[in-house]
């Protein structure tokens, strides 16, 4: 969207900080857009016992807090298990466990982030935005099609006359609750409900790799709507 607005601008692309930061700089406007790869927002440290997810530690915040706009997003990796899980143990205030209820650790980590916003971010100069939960579509019961187990043949949005049948995912309520307790202004980019209606917008049958993907989204597509909402939030 930015490039479309200034197609002739000189652009520099960089991978920084051991490839944890992807940066695009529009030289003519002296503006940089950076993607910081932090799956859980809180820290994951390599220790003797293995990779430890530290729910109460967020050292990366020192690199974030002085930017003009911060857009946060986390949830997708919290419920992953097996080879896709990026940690081996959980540390919650010094208590080490092999695993714990995922919604509980998500809330704890998000609360750590919320406390950091209140204590470390100067919202007079930095606008803070949190992108809401991005839903997936693997269970047809959720959109009144029992027996459907993925989004493979879904070519139309959910067209029910009322709200999405199963309501919002639990994680969305956790996000809203935690953000409501932050003293400083944080804008929730609430894309969950509108995205639930788009069971047709995943790569699924369009995926060149032939994998069943009902989690990510086609580009161009639904995420363009997210970008428009983000743009409106930036101008507000």
Q: Would you say residue 93 has pLDDT above 70?
A: yes
For the stretch 217-232, pLDDT in tens is 998 899 999 999 999 9
Tens of pLDDT, residues 183-204: 999 999 999 999 999 999 999 8
Has residue 197 been placed in a domain? yes
Q: Which domain holds residue 26?
A: 1-37
- Asked, for residue 214, whether it belongs to a domain, the answer is yes
Q: Please check the confidence at residue 208 and state whether its pLDDT lies above 80.
A: no
> Is 64 a domain residue?
no
Peptide bond before residue 220 is cis, with ω within 30 degrees of 0: yes
The pLDDT of residue 205 is 73
Q: What pTM value is reported for the model?
A: 0.93
pLDDT, residue 211, reads: 73
Over residues 42-67, the pLDDT tens digits come to 999 999 999 999 999 999 999 999 99
Across the range 105-120, mean pLDDT stands at 99
Phi, psi angle pair for 190, to nearest 5°: -85, 85
Q: How many domains does the chain have?
A: 2
**Does residue 2 sit within a domain?**
yes
Residue burial 14-27, b: 16+ Cβ < 10 Å; e: rest: eeeeeeebeeebbe
Query: Is 111 inside a domain boundary?
Result: no
Residue 48 maps to a domain: no
In a domain, 112, yes or no: no
Is residue 13 in a domain?
yes
pLDDT confidence bin for 210, thresholds 50/70/90: low
């Amino acid at each position: 969207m930015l490039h479309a607005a200034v197609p002739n601008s000189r652009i520099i692309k960089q991978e920084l900080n051991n490839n944890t930061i992807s940066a695009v700089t529009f030289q003519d406007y002296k503006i940089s857009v950076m993607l910081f790869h932090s799956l859980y927002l809180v820290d994951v440290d390599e220790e003797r016992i293995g990779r430890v997810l530290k729910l109460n530690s967020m050292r990366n915040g020192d690199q974030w807090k002085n930017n003009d706009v911060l857009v946060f997003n986390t949830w997708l990796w919290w419920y992953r298990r097996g080879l896709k899980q990026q940690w081996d143990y959980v540390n919650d205030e010094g208590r080490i466990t092999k695993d714990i209820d995922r919604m509980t650790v998500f809330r704890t980590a998000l609360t750590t982030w919320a406390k950091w916003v209140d204590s470390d971010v100067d919202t007079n100069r930095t606008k803070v935005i949190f992108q809401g939960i991005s839903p997936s579509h693997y269970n047809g019961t959720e959109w009144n099609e029992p027996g459907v187990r993925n989004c493979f043949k879904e070519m139309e949005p959910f067209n029910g006359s009322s709200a999405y049948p199963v309501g919002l995912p639990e994680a969305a309520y956790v996000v809203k609750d935690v953000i409501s307790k932050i003293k400083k202004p944080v804008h929730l980019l609430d894309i969950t409900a509108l995205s639930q209606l788009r069971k047709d917008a995943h790569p699924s049958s369009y995926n060149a790799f032939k994998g069943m993907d009902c989690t990510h989204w086609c580009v161009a597509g639904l995420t363009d709507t997210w970008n428009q909402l983000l743009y409106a939030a930036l101008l507000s």
